[in-house]
């Protein structure tokens, strides 16, 4: 049994449910202030992602209107708000205005990868 689970069980604490996230590389493009940028995603969940971008990084709070991710099942177009940014490395995005179909595709991809 995992040690953390035992500790939570013994002390009567509930463990917070693990986030659905996969650490895999996916090619992507995103629309910056200077035009379309090529990058890659290194972490993906149904609610957000981390985009590795060494050359340009939007500021925290900025809306990225067009993120196109190439998945094994085809491309999806997303938009999101930057929640963390590190110049020269990349930025984390929380997706906004996800339709049900896109959210389900992301959730299914993550669940399949975790099996």
**pLDDT (0 to 100) of residue 114:** 80
Question: How does strand 90-96 pair with strand 63-71?
Answer: unpaired
The DSSP H or E segment spanning 54 is none
In a structure prediction context, what are the per-residue pLDDT tens digits for the chain, which is 115 residues long? 344 444 444 444 444 445 688 999 999 999 988 899 999 999 999 999 999 998 899 999 999 999 999 998 899 999 999 999 999 999 999 999 999 999 999 999 999 888 7
**pLDDT (0 to 100) of residue 85:** 96
Q: What is the pTM of this model?
A: 0.81
């Amino acid at each position: 049994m995992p040690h953390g689970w035992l500790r939570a069980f013994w002390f009567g604490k509930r463990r917070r449910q693990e986030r659905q996230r996969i650490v895999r590389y996916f090619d992507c493009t995103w629309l910056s202030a200077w035009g379309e940028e090529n990058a890659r995603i290194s972490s993906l969940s149904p609610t957000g992602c981390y985009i590795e971008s060494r050359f340009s990084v939007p500021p925290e709070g900025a809306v990225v209107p067009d993120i196109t991710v190439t998945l094994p099942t085809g491309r999806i177009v997303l938009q999101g708000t930057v929640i963390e940014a590190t110049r020269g490395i990349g930025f984390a995005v929380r997706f906004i205005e996800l339709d049900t179909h896109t959210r389900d595709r992301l959730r299914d991809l993550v669940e399949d990868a975790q099996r």
